[in-house]
Amino acid sequence: MATPTNKPAEWHSPHSGDGRRTLSPRPRVADFLAGLTGVGFGAVTALTFESESSAGLHSAGGWALAATRLSGFWGTYLLLIMVLLMVRLPWLERTVGQDQLVRWHRKVAPWATSLTSLHVLISILAYAQMLHNPVWSEAWTFVLHYPDMLAAYVGWILLLVAAFSSIRIARRKMRYETWWVVHLYTYLGLGLSFMHQIRVGVMFIGHPLTTQIWVWTWIGAGIVTLLWRIALPIVRNLQFGLRVADITEVAPGVRSITVSGRHLDRLAVNGGQFFQWRFLARNLWWHSHPYSLSALPRPPFLRVTVKGLGDQSTALANLRVGTRVFVEGPYGAFTRHRMTRERVVLIGAGVGITPLRALLEDLPENRPVSVIVRARNHDDVVHGDEMKALVEARHGVYHELIGRRDEVALDGTSLNTLAEGLSESDVFVCGPEGFTESVMASLQEVGVPHDRIHFESFTF
């Protein structure tokens, strides 16, 4: 059996950094993948046009059928891209960041769903027009008599369910876990729609090369998904064998959870990154939540610091030492690789201080650093003593602003006073949503350009 070990973790002393494996962003890989996505889109469009003929277009319902093919092919391609954006490809995760990938995924989603729905609706209308059948009868004929069409319809409905569950109002009313399970329907929906594409798609019938390319695109997407979302996390967790080693309350309602495991010296991670954490205890094993490391790893230990906000984060207070832990990651691009200037300013509030604490430890030596931490009461400052010690070791400047927002302002003027050379610095911000937004507005007001303000959002 692996750990837990009784040896206490040395979180207070600065990390030695010796021999630690780190991860660099891979902008070239990200650019290559973006280019490949564009080429794929072009190829899909070209293949659809290539399968059209002038006679076909001018026959009854010809244009509508062409539109149905194009919307179907485009919609499916975008769905594949949406899946691949969420596959947790490590190069993309640490170059672009998961929050940005989620934003792209959300931007593509309405297009993919609308195009797929257009494909379904126009195909029924076009066939009804072409064969002079009533619309409902044509829809029924599709389901009953066309190969694999029933499965494709079920797939489309599942897709719609997943799409509606993601609309903001519905999403707010739903538990995260329910929404997540519903979201898995997308994979099922995609799988169910696959065969009808090959068996009835005009661009595939009699075109073996096109069929091969399309089939291998799907197989490739499937392999990538299985590898990075399922196989790799399982292998790594078997290797690490993580277990809870210690839970300590560090501020009211905030606990640091130390886990220990094997071979953690092989874990490449940057300060500021996060993992998805699954604690394998009764009633908790099916929750997987993102928490940032609150310090660089000290093999055999890792640490997160969690504020009890909802059901999972609150229940973590009752975890037993020895509970197995399953992690996925590291993810996120809120790291020192974002830096473009000598000076660094870190601004945090609440539990948002945790990634800043790990990031601070990971900053290159001799960088002038200012840290501003805001809290309502002194007791609420999370890891304040550790932050202070780390800043002092770097001869930086550490400020704690204690009090209510209306009592202690954190506007442009106060930020300029507290952080020397602010407008010439890279600024990393993490805290509650309202806090981050107001700090970002103040930073822009005092002339910090947008591309030098880096923030981590705790909600996707």
Ligand X SMILES: Cc1cc2nc3c(=O)[nH]c(=O)nc-3n(C[C@H](O)[C@H](O)[C@H](O)COP(=O)(O)OP(=O)(O)OC[C@H]3O[C@@H](n4cnc5c(N)ncnc54)[C@H](O)[C@@H]3O)c2cc1C
Which residues contribute to the site for ligand X (CB under 6 A)?
A: 176, 274, 288-292, 304-307, 309-314, 332, 351, 354, 456, 458-460
Least Å from the CB of residue 457 to ligand X: 6
Minimum Å gap between C-beta 374 and ligand X is: 16
Contacts of 453 (CB under 8 A, 6+ apart): 427, 429, 440, 443, 444
CB of 329 to ligand X, least distance (A): 10
State the nearest-atom distance from the C-beta of 288 to ligand X, in Å: 6
Alpha-carbon radius of gyration of the chain: 26
Which CB sits closer to ligand X, 123 or 294? 294
SS3 154: helix
φ and ψ at 302, to 5 degrees? -130, 155
What DSSP line would sit under 67-86, residue for residue?
Answer: HHHHHHHHHHHHHHHHHHHT
Cα–Cα distances (Å) from 382 to 254, 305, 400, 411, in that order, read 8, 9, 11, 22
What torsion do the CA atoms of 414, 415, 419, 423 make, to the nearest 10 degrees?
A: -130
Structure tokens at 440: 């970002």
**Smaller CB separation from ligand X, 210 or 292:** 292
CB of 342 to ligand X, least distance (A): 27
Give the residue with the Cβ less far from ligand X, 91 or 176.
Answer: 176
Residue 353 C-alpha from the chain's centroid? 20
Q: Smallest distance, Å, CB 371 to ligand X?
A: 17
> What is the sign, positive or negative, of the torsion defined by CA atoms of 153, 158, 159, 160?
positive
Which residue number, 233 or 332, has a Cβ lying nearer to ligand X?
A: 332
Which is nearer to ligand X, 101 or 139 (by Cβ)? Answer: 101
Q: 289 or 454, CB closer to ligand X?
A: 289
Q: For ligand X, give the closer residue by CB, 220 or 310.
A: 310
Residue type, 77: Y
Question: Shortest approach of ligand X to residue 85 CB, angstroms?
Answer: 15
Shortest Cβ distance from residue 332 to ligand X (Å)? 6
Task: Decide if 302 contacts 258 (C-beta within 8 A).
Answer: yes
CA–CA gap between residue 419 and residue 348 (Å, rounded): 13
Smallest gap, in angstroms, from Cβ of residue 83 to ligand X?
18
Tokens of 450: 């947008």
Amino acid at 70: L
327-351 residues labelled b (16+ CB within 10 A) or e (exposed): bbbbbbbbbbbbbeeebbbbbbbbb
- The CA-to-CA distance between both ends of the chain, in Å, stands at 36
The distance of closest approach from Cβ of residue 78 to ligand X in the complex, given in angstroms and rounded to an integer, is 23
Which of 67, 440 has the CB closer to ligand X?
Answer: 440
- Residue 31 C-beta-side C-alpha neighbours within 13 Å: 4
Residue 254: phi and psi, rounded to 5, are -120, 130
Of 82 and 126, nearer to ligand X (C-beta) is: 82
Q: Among residues 294 and 425, whose Cβ is nearest to ligand X? A: 294
For ligand X, the closer of residues 146 and 176 by Cβ is 176
Residue nearest to ligand X (CB): 310
Alpha helices per DSSP H over 276-397 = 311-315, 353-362, 384-393
d(CA 155, CA 138): 19
- What is the nearest approach in angstroms of ligand X to the Cβ of residue 326? 13
Angle CA(376)–CA(378)–CA(381) in degrees, nearest 5? 80
